[in-house]
Amino acid sequence: MTSFTGRVAVVTGGTKGIGQAVAARFEAAGATVVTLARTEPARAVGRFIAADLADRGAVQAAFEAIADEFGRVDVLVNNAGGARPGQALDYPEAAARAAFDLNVLGVLYAAQCMYPLTPEHGGASIVNIGSVAGTRPSPGTAVYGAAKAALASLTKSLALEWAPRVRVNCVVPGPVLTESLTAYYGGPEAAALVGQGLPMGRMAQPADVAGACLYLASDDAGQVSGAELLVHGGGEAPRFNRGSGAPGPDPTTAGK
Ligand SMILES: NC(=O)c1ccc[n+]([C@@H]2O[C@H](COP(=O)([O-])OP(=O)(O)OC[C@H]3O[C@@H](n4cnc5c(N)ncnc54)[C@H](OP(=O)(O)O)[C@@H]3O)[C@@H](O)[C@H]2O)c1
């Protein structure tokens, strides 16, 4: 696997959950890591810069600080994201706009600010964090899923427009055992039950997503751009498997 020594990796939302694991993984691989989020954590991985990714001016200021301090960016992991759950019928307008501002426009802003800081001869890479909600809707994810679907499209457009200088890919996780998801499911036991319903028999850990990011940003993935890498433990076993005698857990009873 590529050593990232001498390379600068920026991880948005790198203070919690998946982003923190991604930041730690790049740091362990030798990268100089910069994490961006709104709130400074008690102990940041790498250099922390406060920025609201949904605010174009704040993103620009953060990348100006990165340019001043480090002079370049080799890897950008656009991990900051998420949206409040809710049915489409009465989803509040402000929340819908916020979801697109963060999950789509925030990624565009960060990518635009990163591009001029990448080496002209190539080797730089962007990894966006999507979600299976972008391709497989489930109740309560209408706006979030639409935003992640837009992100998948943005990934492919940037990959076309910015080759060969910057490769652009998307990691597409299923459920990942973070504090926020555990709270969403109502606690660790309920979350574990959901994990048991996956073909792999467990939910992904943040480190599973970090490993996928490291691969996509590495020289081993030098010909991979515009790709979506699913990290979803095999997906969901189809409902028609229920009672069919097919091996594996019964997804229809998990989490209920
Ligand atoms: N967990 C899952 O099951 C799962 C599954 C599929 C995809 N994903 C995706 O994976 C990514 C990370 O999810 P997670 O569960 O690890 O989230 P998380 O634990 O809630 O952490 C979110 C991180 O993003 C930062 N952030 C949030 N809003 C921000 C903003 N406006 N500007 C800057 N930073 C912001 C947070 O810090 P501050 O609040 O201090 O800003 C925090 O560092 C998201 O894109 C999410 O959609 C998650």
Closest C-alpha to 254, from 202, 180, 208, 204: 202
Q: Are 176 and 203 in contact (CB under 8 A)?
A: yes
Ligand 1 atom closest to the Cα of residue 39 is 40
* pLDDT for residue 2: 83
* pLDDT for residue 236: 74
Per the annotation, the verdict on 185 as an active-site residue is no
Half-sphere exposure of 157 (CA within 13 A, CB side): 11
Residue with the nearest Cα to atom 43 of ligand 1?
13
- 3-state class of 124 per DSSP? strand
Ligand 1 atom closest to the Cα of residue 101 is 31
* pLDDT for residue 184: 86
* pLDDT for residue 240: 57
Across the chain, the runs of DSSP E, i.e. the strands, are 8-12, 32-37, 47-50, 75-78, 124-129, 166-173, 228-231
* pLDDT for residue 249: 43
* pLDDT for residue 256: 31
* pLDDT for residue 244: 44
- 3-state class of 176 per DSSP? strand
Q: Distance, CA 174 to ligand 1 centroid (Å)?
A: 14
CATH code matching the domain that covers 8-176+214-235, chosen among 1.10.760.10, 3.30.428.10, 3.40.50.720, 3.30.70.20? 3.40.50.720
Ligand 1 neighbours by CB, cut-off 6 Å: 12-13, 15-19, 37-39, 52-54, 79-82, 102, 129, 131, 173, 175-176, 178, 180-181
* pLDDT for residue 37: 98
Q: Which of 144, 184, 185, 215 is catalytic?
A: 144
DSSP structure string for 47-97: EEEE--TT-HHHHHHHHHHHHHHHS--SEEEE-------B-GGG--HHHHH
How far apart are the C-alpha atoms of 197 and 253, rounded to whole Å? 8
- Residue ranges covered by each domain of the chain: 8-176+214-235
How far apart are the C-alpha atoms of 170 and 161, rounded to whole Å? 16
What's the count of helices (H) and strands (E) in the chain, helices before strands? 8, 7
Averages of pLDDT over runs of 10 residues in the chain (256 residues) are 93 98 98 98 98 98 98 98 96 98 98 98 98 93 97 98 98 95 91 91 96 98 98 78 46 35
